[in-house]
Amino acid sequence: MSVKPTLLAISSPGGHWIQLNRLSVGLEERYRVVYAMPAGLFTSTSLGEREPTRKVYSVVDVSADDKWRLIPCALQVLYILLKERPKAILSTGAAPGAVAIWLGSFLGIRTIWVDSIANVKQISRAGKLAQKRADVFLTQWEQLSDGQAIQYKGAVL
Amino acid sequence: MIFVAVGTQFPFDRLIRAVDEWAAQHALTGMAQIAGGEYLPQTLQWERFMTTAVFNQHVQNADLIISHAGMGNIITALEHRKPIIVMNRQHALGEHRNDHQLDGLAWMGQLPGVYTATTQDELYALLARQHTLQAAPLDNDSRRQTLVDFIDQAIRASTTLSNRT
């Protein structure tokens, strides 16, 4: 039996997390998926029925209003990356995912960003940060794709 | 048969009342999930909260879903191949902490199978033509599968795919 490569799936709670899950369920057969998301909103309803079998790390949430939290968040993400040694990082946003993309890219980990389906008019702010370092950058709306740096390859809905 | 659901966080009496009154006028049956709402439906059956299994059963039994503008309900409706009308909570009416549901309505309305209403008049206009509302087509599944497969390939790909500058 071959060992599945590890994938780190990281997002904020709520819509980002729902989208991340809709993608990761399709990848769990092919990868050992390790999750990370901000705690606090960490309830049984937000995690769903599958959680008991899943490995979920909690990280500090970051927003534009409290940028200082980038430091503890980055340290936690760095710890997860060093411990789990994922082959790739997948994020649907927002800020903690962008932190993971930056750190992962410096560690030579493959990084994939899927901008939230809620961003129909322009790429999200966190997405623009992630875009500087992401290996693959995807939008879920065809009209936002430029066919090169920003690609459209489907959507969760 | 309609199923109206407002999520678990806040009540949304305005939506429940509007649908209930419409159901009374049009002799329509249905189910309402009303959370902590004060308005108790007269025509629709109702529950405050329900388990995921029961919730999914009501979605399955309904011809049309009516919901607050919440992503979870939209996903559930689309996955059960049911058309869904979403109405945003309004901050000014004390229905939510802010108006992000109004912002969300703009993109939700662009999803196949999702119809949006910001007022009771718009909701009633949609209900009046409810039999013309279409569920999301099957190729929505292929949109997701294409995306998942692309991500899988992107993980396996060598650095030649890189667009890093």
- The ipTM is 0.91
Distances (CA, A) of A111 to A53, A155, B102: 25, 18, 32
Measured CA to CA, the distance from residue B29 to residue B34 in angstroms comes to 16
Residue A1: the pLDDT is: 55
Measured CA to CA, the distance from residue A108 to residue B6 in angstroms comes to 44
Residue B24: the pLDDT is: 97
Number of residues that this document lists for chain B? 165
Phi-psi region of B163 (alpha: psi -120 to 50; beta: other; left: phi over 0): alpha
Residue A155 has pLDDT above 60, yes or no: yes
Residue A42 has pLDDT above 50, yes or no: no
Residue B85: the pLDDT is: 98
Q: What tokens appear for B153 in the block?
A: 């390939």
Q: Which of B155, B161, B163, B164 best probes binding to A when mutated, by most A CB atoms within 10 angstroms?
A: B155
Q: Which residues of A touch B79 (CB under 8 A)?
A: none
Residue B120: the pLDDT is: 97
Q: Rounded to a whole number, what is the distance in angstroms from the first to the last CA of chain A?
A: 34
Taking the CA atoms of B94, B96, B97 and B100 in sequence, report the sign of the dihedral they define: negative
Q: Rounded to a whole number, what is the distance in angstroms from the first to the last CA of chain B?
A: 54
A149 with B155: Cβ contact below 8 A: no
Question: Shortest CB distance from B154 goes to which of A112, A140, A154?
Answer: A112
Is B146 an 8 Å CB contact of chain A? yes
**Which of A81, A66, A88, A85 lies closest to A7, judged by CA?**
A88
Mean pLDDT by 10 residues, chain B (165 residues): 93 97 96 97 97 94 96 91 96 85 88 96 97 90 94 81 49
CA distance A19 to chain B (A): 9
Helix axes of B71-79 and B52-61: crossing angle, nearest 10 degrees: 60
Q: Cβ atoms within 10 A of the Cβ of B141, count?
A: 14
Residue A46 has pLDDT above 50, yes or no: no
Measured CA to CA, the distance from residue A30 to residue A27 in angstroms comes to 5
Residue B165: the pLDDT is: 45
Mean pLDDT of A153-157: 94
Q: How far is CA B163 from the centre of its chain?
A: 37
Distances (CA, A) of A146 to A114, A126, A130, A137, B14: 15, 18, 16, 11, 42
- The radius of gyration of chain B's CA atoms, rounded to the nearest angstrom, is 18
Is A105 an 8 Å CB contact of chain B? yes
Q: How far is CA B139 from the centre of its chain?
A: 19
Please report which confidence band the pLDDT of residue A48 belongs to, taking 50, 70 and 90 as the band edges: low
Cβ atoms of residues A34 and A11 within 8 Å: no
Question: Shortest CB distance from B152 goes to which of A27, A133, A149?
Answer: A27
Collapsing DSSP states into helix, strand and coil, what is residue B57? helix
Confidence (pTM): 0.85
